[in-house]
Structure 1
Amino acid sequence: PPHISKLYLPQEALIGEDDKLTANEYLMQRIQQQQNENSRAIQYSIETIEEKMESLDLSVPEQMEEMERLNEQIAELEEDKEYQDQRDVNTDHDEKRIVNALEFMGIPSHLAEDMNMPLSSLSPGLRKKVLLALVILCPCDLLLLDEPSAHLDVIGLIQLRRLLLETPNNSGHDDEHSSKPPTILLVSHDLDLVNQVATNIVELRESKLFYYNGNYTDFTRQRRQDAVTQLRHTVTISKKKDTIHGTIQHLKEQNPSRRGGAKKKQRQIDSQRKKLERLHQKEGKESSLSGTDIKRTQELLQRTEKTGKTGVLPVLGDKDTQFIFRDPKSQWGEPLILAYEVGCMADPPYKLCSPNLQSSDNALTKKDGFLFDFVDLCIDEGGRYCILGANGSGKSSLLRILAKHDPPAEGEIKHALNVDIALVHQELADGMVESGIRDGAADALSFLSLLYPKKSQQDIRGELTNFGIGPVQAVTNLRFLSGGERVRVSFAALMLRDPQVLMLDNPTLNLDAESVEALIDGLSKWRGTLVFISHDTHFIRSLDPVCYVLMEEEGKLRRVVGGVETYLRSFTKRQ
């Protein structure tokens, strides 16, 4: 509605020409746009109230009281509008607010005070923090967030929760004219975030919206109850249908013993068939459970009863969300990757930390211009490893070096003989698909056929099916695949190589909650070696890996004893 001021934050900060702006320019531009939006909403509200006032009869006491109340509302709105108009020219004040907002989001002060580098030069996590700073800088009535936790490190996630749970003033906002917290509508696959901040859940299923009170745990509990009810209903109807089929078969086998018996038997058969048709119609209206859905729901409910853990129910009637990884055939019996004092230069070489001395194992800070400069790591066969760290610390760069995609600036990497490493991330998935389009591939099936000409179509279709790409999606134009579907196709493309090591960079980024659960299930069953980067605590916790943190100031990799929970507690104590 026109009287509601809105602020929409997309999943990615770079939209259109924004990548040419510096972070400060981008934020100043968005602040001005939001002030204009707020002024328009206030002006519309004033005009609406004035129209109501014109229709009042002042000779009626009750309407005279209404006039006074409306006058008070207009006075408040005009004060707010005057404040917004004055703010338009207060650039110095906004610059101070920008620095405070960036520091609140966890961007180091030496970066927050000098954000004159292009947005495109920042890591995805830093760009996301710049984007979320707008929640503090731009008060609104309705806040719309698309995957707000994507790319964020732990400190960013903690501050995001504070932003969404507390009023603007409590989250560091200095604007007394915007103390009322906004209504928030967010799309997110981060189950921990949704559990902590949501008061209502809206589910889009079968082209309809379903509304639930409570957080994600409450939602899954209600969905589970609904699934049980629907399952029982489906089973009951199935039993009735079996009984009717049996009755019809019994009537057909009967021989009419007297005159007119054949017509009577046919009437009875027709009556049973009408009952059967009514059951079919009732089943179609009230149940969307297929045979596969029934089996999966039963399995999940049985698993829940045994373990006491609440899982995510399959989306009834929706596509299969499975991830099936074929186990590697080769075994080495030795470490697959060894890293010795590995370093990586920042690119571009913006100042990432204070100038410091030559790095060593005992140095407190890394060399200037380096993302990291003293990483030691041993990847054992069959192990599970998670690399944690702040946005911009170099986690993705380290993963690319370990996967043999980039050479280290210094140090040494040793790989086991003939070990095959598959690296999966969204940019790689998009790049693979775009290269397939350039090479003339129209769909996923033809794309993988180009990559693996010796593989049969049956093998390729089977691999696509393993990753939830069904017969229809397999022949869908590559351009029309979603981000999550492109990741699935890249998984299928890489797994056709039978790699022994999987390296995943934020693998849950474009996956919905059901797909995340399916990915967890598939990786848990896989016997290969897994190294991944993720800030999705539910995903990390479920896989229970050995955790390392890439220390931003030190430029070293440190083992986190106690895993992700210990890592989270270390940040919670700082708040």
Structure 2
Amino acid sequence: MIRLDNISKQNGQQLLFIEASAALQRGEKIGLVGPNGAGKTTLFRMITGQEPPDEGLVMVDRGVSVGFFSQDVGEMSGRSAVAEVMDGAGDVSTVAAELVALEAAMADPDQLEKLDEIIERFGEVQGRFEALGGYALEGRAREVLAGLSFSQAMMDGDVGALSGGWKMRVALARILLMRPDVMLLDEPSNHLDLESLIWLENFLKGYDGALLMTSHDREFMNRIVNKVIEIDGGGLTSYNGNYEFYEQQRANAEKQQQAQFERQQAMLAKEINFIERFKARASHAAQVQSRVKKLDKIERVEPPKRRHSVTFEFQPAPRSGDDVVNLKGVHKRYGSRVIYEGLDLLVRRRERCCVMGINGAGKSTLLKLVTGNTAPDAGTITLGGSVKLGYFAQHAMELLDGERTVFQSLENQFPRASQGSLRSLAGCFGFSGDEVEKRCRVLSGGEKARLVMAMMLYDPPNFLVLDEPTNHLDMATKEMLVAALAQYEGTMLFVSHDRHFLAALSNRVLELTPEGIHQYDGGYTEYVARTGQEAPGLRN
């Protein structure tokens, strides 16, 4: 359906692709992987014709429809979320827009003299709308939006009033409703809660077209893709199987290449040693010449490319008391909406509590109450003895001083730390070399999240409160964070939609329900086994 034939592409001084080839066939669900900046988004833009390759061809079969979802969703306002989603469905959306305009015209007293003409046209347009399956389309649009956690009020309200994250869901819903022959999805799992993520996963499993997608959520990727294309060193390498199998294949290929390299190096050393020993002896001249020629003809095996991986180790945190935070009789409401009524909760030392609940259950509110970022309407919240609290939330990224560099931000936070230790810290969180001189205002969402995380963890608290800490983080940084937090000896209270993160780190689940908190000893994996569901909103 889509073929990339010997494409080359340069972005400034960076060579992204060098005579790279790949293909996307009907029924394939492909995960596109590679380090940040490798060219994943550029590849999408070349397939959609937004950018041409410098050399080579990008070929899309005649008549194949392509839908592209990217993080750059553009402006949306002036109509409902449902109308915005239906607008991506082709002719039927144009007819739907005319129907809405005619309905308004029929109710307009200034157009009374044209009413018969308007009613006649309305009948014609309504017939066309029915023939195109328009009424079924609206139902399907609402079904998709509901799957992405929209309430009826949000579906019918002005899309312009939604936040950036919700607008992204609208843009994603447009592509899903369109059901093109080929879907190109650039990070569709960003900004989704766990219920929406699992709904999208099931939708894509049942989608019978071809799919090419990127995602930083390994569990999401693992469950959907049946092939992986890796961008590495300007080339495109295909691996059959899911993401986990790709990792195994890649590791095995690296081991084999390393073994071949070492064998060849040993052979070369032996030959060179012979040549050096006997090159001055006339009796061995023919043998020496023969071996020199042999070495010239040997194709050298390259060592495998070493991926730059970072690790972070916590400094020992001071020990807290056994009771870390105690909530008694807590009431909290926003206007007429009751979030908590008489909430009691005790978190004890070394517990790693993941907070779960459907949209609006009060997950982030609980974290804000615990950290003192919002006050209860009634009841008490008490931190235990010697508790040193660290709080990560999305708004923390907005508090960075845009004019400071990454390094200046770290220096300002830790004025007594040595330059070497701060550079080492920056490197652990993906800021190596000149990247520490980037100003905060030009950092991406992922870079800001990494910087805030570094500032929080250098002088570690003994009670970490984390609200969606993996949003914006790439897989390598997530793996580093999971490995570091697995060694952390303090207490954690966190919200996350990343199932790998939840399973690796939690040892207690707090599920927020209208009846109160349901508590489960054991981590997320045990919770799934006991409830039979991966998220509270998926209960039968």
TM-score, normalised with respect to structure 1: 0.67
Distance 1:490 1:231, change over 3 A: same
2:83 corresponds to which of 20, 28, 34:
28
Counterpart of 1:333 (choices 321, 330, 333) is 321
- CA RMSD after TM alignment: 3.8
1:44-89 superposed Cα distances (whole Å, 9 cap, x missing partner): xxxxxxxxxxxxxxxxxxxxxxxxxxxxxxxxxxxxxx99974799
Deviations 1:128-159 (A, max 9, x none): 66555435533322222233333434432332
Alpha-carbon distance between aligned partners in 2 of 1:423 and 1:34, rounded to the nearest angstrom: 43
Compared CA separation, residues 487 and 103, structure 1 to 2 (3 A): closer
Q: Give the secondary structure class of the aligned counterpart of 2:310.
A: coil
For 2:177 and 2:483, locate their aligned partners in 1 and report how far apart those are by CA, in whole Å: 41
Alignment-derived partner of residue 557 in structure 1: 517
Amino acid at match of 1:465: G
CA distance in 1, matches of 2:330, 2:160: 26
Question: What do residues 453-493 of structure 1 show as CA deviations (whole Å, max 9, x unaligned)?
Answer: 33321221122233332233223343443333322211211
Instruction: Tell me which residue corresponds to 2:300.
Output: 282
1:372-411 matches, within 5 Å, as 372-411=340-379
- Are residues 4 and 455 of structure 1, via their aligned partners in 2, closer, same or farther at CA, if it must alter by over 3 Å? same
* Whole-angstrom CA distance in 2 between matches of 1:446 and 1:237: 47
Provide the C-alpha distance between the structure 2 equivalents of 1:86 and 1:326, rounded to a whole number of angstroms. 65
Instruction: Specify the alignment match of 2:190 in structure 1.
Output: 150
Q: Cα distance, 1:186 vs. partner?
A: 1.7
CA contact (8 A) 1:164 1:197 kept: yes
1:319 and 2:362 are equivalent in the alignment: no
Deviation at 1:212, TM superposition (A): 1.2
Q: 1:541 to 1:391 in 2, by over 3 A?
A: same
Spell out, residue by residue over 1:293-314, the C-alpha distance to the aligned partner (whole angstroms, 9 max, x if none): xxxxxxxxxxxxxxxxxxxxxx
Aligned to 2:66: 6
The separation in 2 between residues aligned to 1:531 and 1:121, in whole angstroms, is 31
* Unaligned stretches of 5+ residues in structure 1: 40-81, 168-180, 290-315, 350-367
| 220 and 35 in structure 1: CA distance in 2 versus 1, 3 angstrom threshold | same
Distance 2:524 2:168 in 1: 22
Counterpart residue identity of residue 564, structure 1 = Y
Q: Tell me the SS of whatever aligns to 2:501.
A: helix
Aligned partner of 2:247 among 205, 208, 220: 220
Q: Does 1:17 align with 2:75?
A: yes
Greater CA deviation, 406-415 or 29-38? 29-38
Task: Return the offset for 1:226.
Answer: 0.7
Aligned partner of 2:443 among 477, 481, 498: 481
For residues 2-41 of structure 1, give each alpha carbon's deviation from its aligned partner in whole angstroms, at most 9, with x where no partner exists: 84333333458xx4433x56xx7133123224415999xx
Structure 2 partner of 1:342 = 330
Given the superposition, is the C-alpha separation of residues 203 and 376 from structure 1 closer, same or farther in structure 2, using an over 3 Å criterion?
farther
Question: After superposition, where does 1:98-137 map in structure 2 within 5 Å?
Answer: 98-105=141-148, 107=150, 111-112=151-152, 115-117=155-157, 130=170, 132-134=172-174, 136-137=176-177
Question: Take 1:141 and 1:33, find their aligned partners in 2: how far apart are those partners?
Answer: 14
Tell me the residue number matched to 2:209. Answer: 182
Change (3 A) 1:562 1:545: closer
Confirm or deny: 8 A CA contact 1:342 1:376 kept in the other structure: yes
Q: Which SS does the other structure have where 1:507 is aligned?
A: coil
- Counterpart in the other structure of 1:413: 381
Q: What are the Cα deviations for residues 217-262 of structure 1, in whole angstroms up to 9, with x where unaligned?
A: 221221122122122123223434554565577569xxx7x8x79x
Shift of 1:565: 3.5
- The residue type paired with residue 453 of structure 1 is P
Letter in 2 for 1:192: E
Of the candidates 490, 504, 522, which is equivalent to residue 452 of structure 2? Answer: 490
Q: What do the CA deviations read for 1:532-574 (whole angstroms, capped 9, x no partner)?
A: 11122222112242111122x33x3221245424544443784
What percentage of aligned pairs have identical amino acids?
Answer: 25
Shift of 1:97: 3.8
Cα deviation, residue 333, structure 1: 3.4
State the partner residue of 2:401: 436
In structure 1, what is the equivalent of residue 225 of structure 2? 198
Measure the CA separation in 2 of the matches of 1:574 and 1:142. Answer: 32
The correspondence for 2:434, drawn from 462, 465, 472, is 472
- Normalized against structure 2, the TM-score is what? 0.71
- 1:422 deviates by 1.7
